[in-house]
């Protein structure tokens, strides 16, 4: 009889053509208690259901009719500019979805992000249709990678303002480079470890009780109440090694290692939804909370790119790429890192270019109308490097890089064309870099995020990349978070 450590269990769904493979961790004695599995699902067409569109308390929401007896799984995506939710069933149908912009409240001269994220979380829970809440079996959340919160481990209160995903801590970089292997993922000023080290070596009286969490960890903690848990996607940039499922000795020997959270696989059931939240919103007593992931990983999961060589470009406020590769690549010189995905690797990085730069210059209405006038087959003569502010992470690691958005032509169509094509060139450079570093070459690109809706931009990118480019069947990271919630509930059965 086979032992549990050598067994794999496959749960198939004939209607959707996917399978969940539950296989043992390569290191059964590791911190991670639940193995990773990847849902190889072909997206169905949910149009058979009734659709209703309406506004809700400043957010927007869409709901689709429900078949009797379904259990539902709630995924929430906390991106750079706002948050979304998607409520799916075990066949992949979306039954409700909605979005919220982050409310802006200032604390002195800085944004009070902790208050804003918490407010948005409970607003999204409120936006879930009341009659569907009792059917929700599990919840998962994704957040921006390397967004870091340091808390009082006794009270859960933040000890400082959050370190955002794109913040750099160059003061900590020499220290981190002195302890980490050369070109390790943490050897970047914007890594979670640099943020932790920068905080540690300032005057902080509560170091002995401090706890580090990532954005999605903290939001999930608000729901389940157990401090000190993360997933191995979020933990990558603090130094966790997903290949051996543990923190490396060079990190555990540091005095601040006591702040590091315990690590589980993404989509692992943590525990029940807190009673006060369950009662307030009307969720069932059986509803559980599951570990999450990063926003770009969730977008990849949503796109269902299951074969090596397939890639997902997320065109949101920033540009993030993920390529499914048989080879793991880590090189902090270029902002390249790899996330574990079953027995393969998601290789990629995140650039500071993207939609946020476009919105600094054009309104949404202008972007739509100007884009329609672009001939995507024409090559733009303008060479820009669109950034919101100084600093780039990938495919060039340069905290001093200055945005380049000039010269500006008199014709706004030409200007937008130049910016869109310049972002496409950055994307092409990123994929070429991954190939040069040894990753599986990309042969097809799926697009997620708001930029996926721009058809002429897709055609520009297809021309610049020299590859087939298409919109992912599901473009929202919240759907990927919903798949993790489904995983967590399924693995408990």
Please give the Cα distance from 62 to 482 (Å, whole number): 16
- The pLDDT, as a whole number, for residue 67 is 56
> For residue 364, with 0-12 CB atoms within 10 Å meaning exposed, 13-18 middle and 19 or more buried, which class applies?
exposed
Q: pLDDT digit string (tens) for 368-392?
A: 999 999 999 999 999 999 999 999 9
Q: Both tokens of residue 366?
A: 């202008």
CB 120 within 8 A of CB 100: yes
Give the H/E segment covering residue 455.
helix 455-465
Q: How many CB atoms lie within 10 A of CB 352?
A: 26
Mean pLDDT, residues 156-169: 94
Please give the Cα distance from 449 to 485 (Å, whole number): 20
First to last CA, the chain: 22
- The pLDDT, as a whole number, for residue 64 is 57
Q: Both tokens of residue 344?
A: 């393969």
Mean pLDDT, residues 182-209: 93
| Global pTM value | 0.78
DSSP 322: E
Mean pLDDT, residues 351-360: 95
- The pLDDT, as a whole number, for residue 342 is 78
Q: What does the angle CA 269 – CA 271 – CA 273 come to, to the nearest 5 degrees?
A: 115
Statement: residue 493 has pLDDT above 70: no
Mean pLDDT, residues 336-340: 92
Q: Both tokens of residue 198?
A: 């920068």
Where do we find the tokens 């995903």?
165
Please give the Cα distance from 419 to 192 (Å, whole number): 30
Kindly report the CATH class assigned to 72-296+479-491: alpha beta
- From the list 114, 66, 113, the residue with the least C-alpha distance to 91 is 66
Identify the three-state secondary structure at position 253. Answer: coil
Q: pLDDT digit string (tens) for 68-126?
A: 557 999 999 999 889 999 999 988 899 999 999 999 988 888 899 999 999 999 999 99
- Fold match between domain 72-296+479-491 and domain 306-472: yes
Statement: residue 8 has pLDDT above 90: no
Domain boundaries, the chain: 72-296+479-491, 306-472
Statement: residue 299 has pLDDT above 60: yes
Mean pLDDT, residues 427-446: 97
Mean pLDDT, residues 215-228: 97
Kindly report the CATH class assigned to 306-472: alpha beta
The phi and psi torsions of 12 (rounded to 5 degrees) equal: -105, 150
Mean pLDDT, residues 325-333: 93
Name every residue whose Cβ is closer than 8 Å to that of residue 29 and which is 6 or more positions away in sequence. Answer: none
Task: Please indicate whether residue 1 or residue 122 has the higher confidence score (pLDDT).
Answer: 122
Mean pLDDT, residues 348-366: 95
Please give the Cα distance from 434 to 440 (Å, whole number): 8
Asked which of 25-29, 294-298, 328-332 is least confident by mean pLDDT, the reply is 25-29
């Amino acid at each position: 009889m086979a032992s549990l450590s050598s067994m794999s269990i496959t749960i198939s769904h004939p209607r959707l053509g996917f399978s969940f493979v539950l296989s043992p961790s390569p290191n059964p004695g590791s911190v991670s208690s639940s193995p990773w599995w990847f849902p190889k699902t072909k997206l169905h067409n949910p149009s058979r259901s009734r659709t209703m569109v309406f506004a809700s308390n400043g957010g927007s929401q869409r709901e689709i009719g429900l078949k009797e007896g379904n259990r539902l799984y709630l995924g929430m995506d906390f991106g750079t500019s706002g948050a979304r939710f998607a409520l799916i069933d075990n066949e992949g149908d979306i039954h409700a979805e909605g979005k919220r912009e982050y409310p802006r409240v200032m604390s002195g001269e800085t944004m009070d992000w902790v208050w804003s994220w918490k407010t948005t979380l409970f607003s999204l829970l409120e936006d879930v249709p009341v009659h569907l809440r009792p059917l929700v079996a599990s919840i998962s959340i994704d957040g921006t990678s390397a967004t870091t919160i340091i808390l009082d481990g006794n009270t859960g209160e933040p000890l400082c303002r959050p370190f955002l995903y794109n913040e750099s801590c160059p003061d900590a970089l020499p220290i981190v480079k002195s302890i980490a292997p050369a070109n390790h993922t943490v050897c970047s000023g914007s890594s979670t470890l640099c943020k932790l080290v920068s905080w540690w070596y300032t005057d902080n009286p509560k170091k002995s009780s401090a706890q580090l969490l990532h954005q999605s960890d903290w939001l999930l903690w608000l729901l389940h109440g157990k401090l000190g848990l993360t997933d191995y996607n979020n933990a990558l940039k603090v130094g966790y090694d997903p290949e051996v499922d543990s923190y490396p000795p060079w990190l555990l020997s540091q005095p601040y290692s006591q702040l590091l959270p315990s690590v589980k696989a993404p989509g692992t059931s943590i525990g029940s939804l807190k009673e006060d939240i369950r009662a307030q919103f009307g969720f069932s007593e059986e509803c559980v909370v599951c570990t999450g992931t990063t926003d770009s990983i969730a977008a990849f999961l949503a796109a269902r790119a299951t074969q090596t060589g397939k890639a997902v470009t997320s065109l949101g406020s920033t540009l993030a790429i993920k390529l499914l590769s048989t080879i793991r690549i880590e090189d902090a010189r270029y902002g390249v890192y790899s996330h574990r995905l079953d027995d393969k690797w998601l290789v990629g990085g995140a650039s500071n270019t993207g939609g946020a730069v476009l919105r600094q210059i054009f309104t949404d209405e202008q972007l739509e109308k100007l884009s329609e006038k672009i001939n995507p087959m024409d090559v733009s003569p303008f060479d820009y490097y669109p950034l919101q502010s100084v600093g780039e992470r990938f495919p060039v690691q340069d905290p001093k890089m200055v945005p380049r958005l000039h010269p500006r032509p008199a014709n706004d169509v030409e200007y937008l064309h130049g910016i869109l094509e310049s972002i496409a060139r950055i994307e092409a450079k990123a994929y070429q870099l991954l190939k040069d570093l040894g990753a599986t070459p990309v042969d097809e690109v799926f697009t997620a995020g708001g930029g996926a809706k721009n058809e002429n931009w897709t055609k520009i990118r297809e021309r610049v990349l020299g590859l087939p480019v298409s919109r992912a069947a599901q473009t929202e990271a919240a759907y990927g978070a919903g798949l993790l919630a489904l995983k967590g509930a399924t693995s408990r059965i």
